[in-house]
Amino acid sequence: MDDLDTVLVKYDSETGIGTLTMNRPDALNALNGQLRDDIIAGLEQLETANEDADGVALRAVVLEGAGEKAFCAGADIGGFSDESAGGSSGRTHYDFIRDFPTPVIAKIDGYCLGGGLETALACDFRLATEGSTFGFPEVDLGIIPGAGGVQYVTKLAGPAVAKELAMRGNHISAERADDEGIINHVYDADSFDEDVDDFVTELAGQAPLAVQAVKKSAHMAVHSGLNEGLRYDSQVFAELLTTEDHAEGAAAFAEKRDAEFEGK
> Active-site residues: which are they?
118, 138
Query: Are the C-beta atoms of 104 and 123 separated by less than 8 Å?
Result: yes
User: Rounded to whole angstroms, what are the CA distances from 148 to 92, 132, 136, 145, 219?
Assistant: 12, 21, 11, 7, 15
For the stretch 236-242, contacts whose Cβ atoms lie closer than 8 Å and that sit 24 or more positions apart, written own/partner, are 240/209, 240/210, 240/213
CA 122 from centroid of its chain's CA atoms: 6
Using CB atoms within 10 Å of the CB of residue 174, give its burial: 0 to 12 exposed, 13 to 18 middle, 19+ buried: buried
Strands 111-113 and 70-72: parallel
